Amino acid sequence: MEKRLFILVEGEDDVRFFGRIIKPLFVTHYSSVEIIPYACIKRSKVSSFLKSIRLMNNDYIFIADIDTEHSVRDKKQVLYSHFSHIDGGSIVVVIKEIESWYYAGLSAESAQYLAVPDLLFTDELTKEYFNSLIPSKYDSRIDFMFEILKYFSVDTAEKKNHSFKFFTGRYHLEDPHGQQVNQ
């Protein structure tokens, strides 16, 4: 039997990150891995989709930024109120925002090459702070994000961001070379 994984993400920045960094870590476990941005889909349709994924005996991971909520538990409560068929065990909350995961993957050498500060921890990194760090040599925020993804290190990201480390540990992710990521 073939099993599929659906990764539901908020927006296009998440699609880029999960497509480039996370999807390759799951491909050996599923017949297909699909990334679906849900922010622009009606809540009722998302709920129905979540229900159908379960009925077809497939898996999903529902990604959400913590945003202004005070805790993961509070964020999950918001999601429960928005999506009637969401399973709490399938929710992963990014702290603070997906930009913190992008930046977490930069080693000291990569940060130096990109001419940005080397941050020891990115748990508190907001979208606004991320944007303020973008060097003027990049034509756009998206160009900078693509550049980060070229140098992204899963091992480094695990050391710099607790929610990223939780994510890789929870799903027992392995790098493309077959070595477990969270050692």
Domain boundaries, the chain: 4-170
Give tens-digit pLDDT for 20-46.
999 999 998 899 999 999 999 999 999
20 contacts 58 by C-beta, under 8 angstroms: no
95 contacts 66 by C-beta, under 8 angstroms: yes
Residue 3 has pLDDT above 80, yes or no: yes
Confidence of residue 183 (pLDDT cuts 50, 70, 90): very low
For residues 103-110, give the mean pLDDT.
Answer: 98
Q: Among residues 106, 99, 100, which one has the least CA distance to residue 155?
A: 106
For residues 140-159, give the mean pLDDT.
Answer: 97
What is residue 174's predicted lDDT score, i.e. its pLDDT?
Answer: 61
What pTM, to 2 d.p., does this model score? 0.92
Q: In DSSP terms, which residues pair with 91 in a beta bridge?
A: 62
Residue 177: both structure tokens together: 């070379």
The answer for residues whose C-beta is within 8 angstroms of residue 157's C-beta and 6 or more apart is 101, 104, 105, 164, 165
- Pairwise CA distance, residues 137 & 182, whole Å: 34
What is residue 180's predicted lDDT score, i.e. its pLDDT?
Answer: 40
Residue-averaged pLDDT of the chain? 93
182 contacts 158 by C-beta, under 8 angstroms: yes
What is residue 74's predicted lDDT score, i.e. its pLDDT?
Answer: 98
Give tens-digit pLDDT for 157-167.
999 999 999 99
61 contacts 90 by C-beta, under 8 angstroms: yes
- Pairwise CA distance, residues 74 & 76, whole Å: 5
Residue 68 has pLDDT above 60, yes or no: yes
